[in-house]
Structure 1
Amino acid sequence: MNKVLITADHVIIGPADHVIDRGAVLVDSGMITAVGTAAVLDTALDARVARLHCPGATVMPGLIDCHVHLAFDAGPDPIRAVTDTAPGELAAAMAERAGQMLAAGVTTARDLGDLVALTVALRASIESGAVAGPRILAATTPLTSLGGHCAFLGGEVITDDDIRSQVARNAAAGANLIKVMASGGALTPGGPRMYESQFTPGQLRLIVDEAARHGLGVAAHAHGTDAISDCVAAGVRTLEHCSWRTADGITYDPKTTRQIIEKDIAVCRCVSGDWRLFLEQMGPERADAMAEVVREMREAGVRFIAGTDAGVPGARFDDYVGMLEFFSSLGFEHAEILDMATMNSAYALGLTDTGALAPGMRADLVVVDGNPLTELDALRRIRHVFRGP
């Protein structure tokens, strides 16, 4: 990426309520070297430096998707799409999906479960420039119980030694983090129900400890209220779904929420663009209960991060904004939502070089028509995407 000065009507620096009107961002070799008003930066720069003028547009940090599955195809049977596809074909399909995400403004994606570490190879291809896609953080093979959620990905563990071995294999394969299926899930026929725990509290602590021994954090798929509590006690870094399910419906635990906040654990609700259909299928009573729990967690001070669960049925790789609109429907302010999609997600993932626009940061940024602070749909009108090295 050569040196270029990008100017626009608005530059959202991060946090999202920090805005420079008629602003500019100077990018040099994939890094941000200056941020300020267009008048000052344009005057200070040599006339030979390239200019990218974007009237009617907003420049902001690149979007971060904290929960995707690039090996899944978003169709009605993602399991078959994985197990019945040759590795080479699956790798090519994953590269295409990564390109869709980048085109939608996603400059960083955390993949939370694939087959034989295919995301690690894809990550290398993207970093080399051979393939276009977002920066990838890969969990590789998720740990699950025997016959448990997503067991078809090969991460079944039973004993403590199994756990140690699988964490070690993932680390050796190049994983950026460890994923554990702490509860059941809807995707796996015959597996535990969504509210049922798949691991004991002691096993979850072992998983966290073993991951830490390899310098890795843990993301926990946890629908069940008991599983959420156990994961928080174990010290996971992020909670995925966190839907507070029990056999009787939704059972929210404010005490556990206080511990989530005290331990600085981020929550990724994993909402796909078809959330309206999902709420309709839940029924009004349960949908209202779920929405109220999210509002209570927000009021308590939980750090929410953005994730689409792209790849599962109905969760497309090119519809990031649909997930953000879910939070808007619950009363979240636009600035709050944009922070969730950028700087809050970067913080939760341990990334200090992205999520905001400042000198020394990676040039992960998007240019959109309009102003997403007043209209989230502006994020669908992508004009330019930049991704740092």
Structure 2
Amino acid sequence: MTKVLITADRVITKPADPAIEDGAVLVDGEAILAVGSAAELDAVADASVTRLRCPGATVMPGLIDGHVHLAFDASEDPVRAVAQASRDELAGAMRARAERMLATGVTTVRDLGDRDALTVELRTAIASGAAVGPRILAATTPLTSRGGHCGFLGGEVATDDEVRSQIARNVAAGADLIKVMASGGALTPTGPRMWERQFPPDRLKLIVDEAARYGLGVAAHAHGTDVIADCVAAGVRTVEHCSWRTVDGISHDPRTSRAIAEKGIFVCRCISGDWKSFLGRLGEERAKAMTETVLRMRDDGVRFLAGTDAGVPGARFDDYVGTLEFFAGVGFSPREVLEMATVNPAEALGSRSTGALGPGMSADLIVTDGNPLTDLGALRKIRHVFAAGRRSAAS
């Protein structure tokens, strides 16, 4: 790959830092060589360096989706689509979904449950250049209880030995992290209800400890208020959904919420671009309670990472910005929202080379029309996408 000097009206290195006006980023292969003013970098870059001039635009870190399921098809029945597809059919569909996500500016995804470890194969193909898509962190097969949420993916465990064996299989398959279905979920109506435990607290702790033996963190699917508390006590790395459900409705626990913040656990609220329809289906009272819990968590100091849950019904692979617009709509500033999309998920996912722009960082970046620091709609106007230095077509 050749060197590329990208110049634009502004460069956002991190959302919390001042933007560099009339800025530039010098890309050298897969990495960023320099970031600074356009005048300075243009002067030091020799004539052989490709110039990509982007007037009226912003250069910023590539977006990170902290919760996707590339094996699902976002239809009303994604379970059937996964179960009935052949291995080759599913692998081909996952490639197409990954390419679609990259075109919208998503340069890293964390896949939290697939079939046959196909995300690992796709991760390898993308890294080698044989396929086009974002960087993938793969959980492979989620751990769940007998008859539990997403048991159709093959991760049902009922004993401590089965927990150890499944984690070992995931590690052998190439997992980057471990996913546990700590509570029930909507995709599996025959299993435990969304607020109910799938594992006792001591088994959750075993899952966290066993994952740690391999140097891996745990992402916990947890809707129930009591289940969220179990996950925090066990020491998971991220809590997915975190919707504070009880048999009677929604009940935010401020003590647990503050513990999440104090322990440095991140929350992926898993809001899809279809959030307006979702809130409408909840009804006014429950919708208000849901949005209020998000604001209470922010007040408690909880750090969020953006995740679409792409692949489940209504969660498309090409509407990442819709997720961000939910948080903006309930009162988060554009800088806070951009942090959820870049630096927060990079930290939560344990990546030191993504989520920001600087010398030595991975060349994962996007060029957007306008200024997303004042208008998140700018993120729907992607001009260019670079993933590990490779330039891809924008949507």
Q: TM-score range by the shorter chain?
A: over 0.9
**Shift in Å at residue 61 of structure 1?**
0.1
Q: Deviations over 1:189-208 (max 9, x none)?
A: 31111111100000000000
Q: Is the 8 A contact 1:270 1:309 kept in 2?
A: yes
Q: Is the 8 A contact 2:62 2:365 kept in 1?
A: yes
Q: Taking structure 1 as the reference length, what is the TM-score of the superposition?
A: 0.99
Which residue in the other structure is 2:294 paired with? Answer: 294
Which residue in the other structure is 2:203 paired with? Answer: 203
Letter in 1 for 2:380: R
Q: Is the 8 A contact 1:30 1:388 kept in 2?
A: yes
Q: Is the 8 A contact 2:240 2:268 kept in 1?
A: yes
State the distance in 2 between where 1:139 and 1:224 align: 22
**Shift in Å at residue 141 of structure 1?**
0.2
Q: Partner of 1:245: helix, strand, or coil?
A: strand
Q: Is the 8 A contact 2:183 2:192 kept in 1?
A: yes
**Shift in Å at residue 40 of structure 1?**
1.1
1:366 aligns with 2:366: yes
Q: Is the 8 A contact 2:64 2:345 kept in 1?
A: yes
Which residue in the other structure is 2:337 paired with? Answer: 337
State the distance in 1 between where 2:14 and 2:373 align: 12
Which residue in the other structure is 2:392 paired with? Answer: none
Q: Partner of 1:34: helix, strand, or coil?
A: strand
Q: Deviations over 1:20-61 (max 9, x none)?
A: 011000000111011001011111221221100000110000
Letter in 2 for 1:291: T
Which residue in the other structure is 1:241 paired with? Answer: 241
Q: Where does the alignment leave 5 or more consecutive residues of structure 2 unmatched?
A: 390-395
Of 45-54 and 11-20, deviating more is 11-20
Q: Partner of 1:18: helix, strand, or coil?
A: coil
Q: Partner of 1:8: helix, strand, or coil?
A: strand
**Shift in Å at residue 375 of structure 1?**
1.0
Q: Deviations over 1:345-372 (max 9, x none)?
A: 1001100001000000000000011111
Q: Partner of 2:216: helix, strand, or coil?
A: coil
**Shift in Å at residue 188 of structure 1?**
1.1
Of 365-374 and 38-47, deviating more is 38-47
Q: Deviations over 1:275-308 (max 9, x none)?
A: 0000000001011011111101101110100100
Which residue in the other structure is 1:88 paired with? Answer: 88
State the distance in 1 between where 2:257 and 2:209 align: 22
State the distance in 1 between where 2:167 and 2:49 align: 48
Which residue in the other structure is 2:191 paired with? Answer: 191
Which residue in the other structure is 1:68 paired with? Answer: 68
Letter in 1 for 2:58: T
Q: Partner of 2:288: helix, strand, or coil?
A: helix
Which residue in the other structure is 1:254 paired with? Answer: 254
State the distance in 2 between where 1:19 and 1:290 align: 33
Letter in 1 for 2:94: M
Letter in 2 for 1:281: R
Which residue in the other structure is 2:128 paired with? Answer: 128
Q: Partner of 1:5: helix, strand, or coil?
A: strand
Runs of 4+ in structure 1 over 4 Å off: none
- The 5-angstrom pairing of residues 195-234 of structure 1 reads 195-234=195-234
State the distance in 2 between where 1:257 and 1:321 align: 26
- The 5-angstrom pairing of residues 162-173 of structure 1 reads 162-173=162-173
State the distance in 2 between where 1:121 and 1:360 align: 27
1:23 aligns with 2:62: no
**Shift in Å at residue 312 of structure 1?**
0.2
Letter in 1 for 2:345: S
- The 5-angstrom pairing of residues 320-335 of structure 1 reads 320-335=320-335
Letter in 2 for 1:344: N
State the distance in 2 between where 1:276 and 1:2 align: 44
Q: Is the 8 A contact 1:369 1:381 kept in 2?
A: yes
1:264 aligns with 2:278: no
**Shift in Å at residue 116 of structure 1?**
1.1
Q: Is the 8 A contact 2:114 2:141 kept in 1?
A: yes
Q: Is the 8 A contact 1:17 1:335 kept in 2?
A: no
Q: Is the 8 A contact 2:2 2:49 kept in 1?
A: no
State the distance in 1 between where 2:377 and 2:194 align: 32
**Shift in Å at residue 17 of structure 1?**
4.0
Which residue in the other structure is 2:12 paired with? Answer: 12
Q: Partner of 2:374: helix, strand, or coil?
A: coil
Q: Is the 8 A contact 2:177 2:216 kept in 1?
A: yes
Which residue in the other structure is 2:393 paired with? Answer: none
State the distance in 1 between where 2:64 and 2:147 align: 32
**Shift in Å at residue 2 of structure 1?**
1.4
State the distance in 1 between where 2:343 and 2:303 align: 11
**Shift in Å at residue 16 of structure 1?**
4.0
Q: Partner of 2:259: helix, strand, or coil?
A: helix
Q: Is the 8 A contact 1:238 1:265 kept in 2?
A: yes
Q: Deviations over 1:138-181 (max 9, x none)?
A: 00000001110000000000011110100110011000000000
Letter in 2 for 1:134: P
Which residue in the other structure is 1:308 paired with? Answer: 308
Letter in 2 for 1:191: G
Q: Partner of 1:220: helix, strand, or coil?
A: strand
State the distance in 2 between where 1:101 and 1:208 align: 30
